[in-house]
Structure 1
Amino acid sequence: MNILNSLCLFTLFMILIFIKQALSIKCWECRSDADPKCADPFDNSTFAIGDCRDASLPHLPGLRSTMCRKVRQKVHGVWKYVRSCAFLGEPGIGGDERFCLMRTGTYNIFMEYCTCNTKDGCNTSSTTLISSILLSLLFSVHYVFR
């Protein structure tokens, strides 16, 4: 296989990887009231990451999930965490995922919404996942130049 064929194969492979990444996102889906490992610090050892392409809202048919969300709420002194696919809104505040939207209310109520779409599983409290794009790129470069 000559270098031109290898380069074409590599380019096609990368295009397919990026299309897959652009069309769907995978998010952690859990509730801390059902499993305490869903709270912070997040322990994803017992959760499967969910594919948001399969998620839907019955009252908004046709709307696709394109982001992940983590909600941290305190109601009457009790903290609860919810991690899920997100359908509406924008990532972070003004597109900056480092910032979360915070709301407070009367009677000791606090809510924080963190929304992201930079990578699969971005709705965790700490990142330990290696990007599949990076792994694919390393494999492809090794294959082409061996």
Structure 2
Amino acid sequence: MLSTWQLGGSCLLLILLVNIHNGSALRCWTCTSDTNPDCNDPFEETSPGPIACIPPRTQPDKMPGLYPVCTKARIHVNELESVVIRQCEWVSDSYPNICENHPGLPQHSHMEFCESCRGDGCNGVGLPTASTWTITAASIILTLLVML
């Protein structure tokens, strides 16, 4: 027969193992509101969901100091139109803020808003991530174990 501590510890270990990312790539929402209205705010999550960030062809895989971030930007294109862009960007330790002087902005446009983040799907609506659920579940189990 398992003791309460053994059962609780087993449950905690199982929760942690289920939520471990085995070296998988960062996954970001990738869309633009000019071609997909669901990409605009308020954001409507659609399939296929966040996609894995793949290094650009011009840069070798696992380039030192290069890492992916998810971005969400609102670009004012002309007097009447703003476009929301959600995508994966690659940044380096020497240039960590992709939102400053963002490359690839269309001519005669300006950035209204930009943010970057490093969690799976973080450039969507901000739902809790797997790690948030892991911490919550672990806290509940530990609290229950202490109470017993």
User: Structure 1-normalised TM-score?
Assistant: 0.63
Aligned residue number for residue 85 of structure 2: 82
Aligned residue number for residue 120 of structure 1: 120
Give distance in 2, aligned partners of 1:113 and 1:25: 19
Over residues 8-43 of structure 1, what are the superposed CA-to-partner deviations in whole Å (9 max), with x where a residue is unaligned? 534544553564187543221111121112122222
User: Structure 2-normalised TM-score?
Assistant: 0.62
SS in 1 for 2:50: strand
Tell me, which stretches of 5 or more residues in structure 1 are unaligned?
Answer: 95-99
SS in 2 for 1:66: strand
Give distance in 2, aligned partners of 1:7 and 1:20: 22
Aligned residue number for residue 70 of structure 1: 72
- Structure with the larger helix share: 1
Aligned in 2, Cα 1:123/1:29: closer, same or farther, shift over 3 Å? same
Aligned residue number for residue 35 of structure 2: 34
Identity of aligned residues (%): 21
Q: Does 1:109 align with 2:109?
A: yes
Paired residues of 1:73 and 1:110 also in contact (CA < 8 A):
yes
Aligned residue number for residue 97 of structure 1: none
Q: Which amino acid aligns with 1:133?
A: S
Aligned in 2, Cα 1:87/1:102: closer, same or farther, shift over 3 Å? closer
Paired residues of 1:17 and 1:133 also in contact (CA < 8 A):
no
Aligned in 2, Cα 1:86/1:103: closer, same or farther, shift over 3 Å? closer
The number of equivalent residue pairs is 132
Over residues 59-87 of structure 1, what are the superposed CA-to-partner deviations in whole Å (9 max), with x where a residue is unaligned? 11204753211122122333222111222
Aligned residue number for residue 141 of structure 1: 141
Structure whose CA Rg is larger: 2
Q: Which amino acid aligns with 1:49?
A: G
Aligned in 2, Cα 1:74/1:16: closer, same or farther, shift over 3 Å? same
Structure number with higher relative contact order (C-alpha < 8 Å, ≥ 6 residues apart): 2
Give distance in 2, aligned partners of 1:66 and 1:8: 34
The range that moved more, 35-44 or 71-80, is: 71-80
CA RMSD of aligned residues (A): 3.8
